[in-house]
Amino acid sequence: MEQPPATPRIITLTSDYGADSLYAAALRGAIISQDPSIRIVEISHGIRPFDTNEAAFALRATASHFPRGTVHLIAMNTNQTGEYVHRVMELAGQYYVALDDGIFSLIADRDPDAIYDIIVTSESDILTFPERHIFVQVACHLVQGGVPAVIGRPAEGWVESEWQRPLIGQDYVQGVVLHVDTYGNLITNIDQRTFKEVGKERTFRIPLRSSRMDVNRIHRHYGAVADGERVALFNHMGLLEIAINHGANRGDGGASRLFGLKVGSTVRIEFDPLVPGIS
């Protein structure tokens, strides 16, 4: 009789260490030393230094593709302060291990299932590398099926961050660029639901570098426009993305370079004014 497949033991790593980092190698070695059967997946070590917002975006873009039971170890800004402490967030059957400096509220699109303050003792007297000496212990315990109550106690709350929420007016939605990918595509924090709720099927424009570059239509995929043409669409995360179809391959660096926009730049959708008495 065939045995049901075992639940995969997966720990992901996200950090601002940079490519080919010795710190990342140390984390991998420590995890393997505890349990060689654990699969380690690198989400990214190319997060901008100390940029919690970009790290949160990377997790939001990828976590839903992993199975339940996955543990995400986030090696960003890991030294505790009086305000920020080490915590575990349980969300949709997965765990996130990090310093709670607002990153959990940026990752979660709803209230988490649970939040725990980590109470395990560091494996070392050296306090500068808690992701190795504390987070690895916690992640391995959880991915092996251990319960959070062993390594933590219920937290009284979490750190709130508003950075990823767009500003909303009667005739506009104003957001920011969260991420610029390899192709120069601009991924914003404006989601499709907000666009529909505010827009009410009105015509609109997205002002860019000049009026002739403005976007006034949402397409479903990049190929809906000719090579080198600008395109706006809602991507697989439901977020507004502005791109140039095959723009990076044409040597102009894509939408980021053409429109002079980068992470943190403002993107605004302006709708035709509502007619009084008509909603």
Nearest to 136 by CA among 52, 78, 57, 60: 78
Q: Where are the domains of the chain?
A: 10-154, 167-271
Q: CATH assignment of 10-154?
A: 3.40.50.10790
DSSP code per residue over 195-261: HHHHHTT--EEB--SSGGG-B---BSSGGGS-TT-EEEEE-TTSEEEEEETTTGGGTS-HHHHHHT-
**Element housing 28 (H / E):** helix 22-34
Q: Answer whether residue 173 shows pLDDT above 80.
A: yes
Dump pLDDT digits (tens) for 29-58.
Answer: 999 999 999 999 999 999 999 999 899 999
Which structure tokens are listed for 36? 């060689």
Average pLDDT over residues 13-18: 96
Dump pLDDT digits (tens) for 132-141.
Answer: 999 999 999 9
What's the CATH number of domain 167-271, 3.10.129.10, 3.40.190.10, 3.30.70.20, 2.40.30.90? 2.40.30.90
65-79, 131-145, 231-245, 247-261: range with lowest mean pLDDT: 247-261
Do residues 253 and 261 touch, judged by C-beta distance below 8 A? no
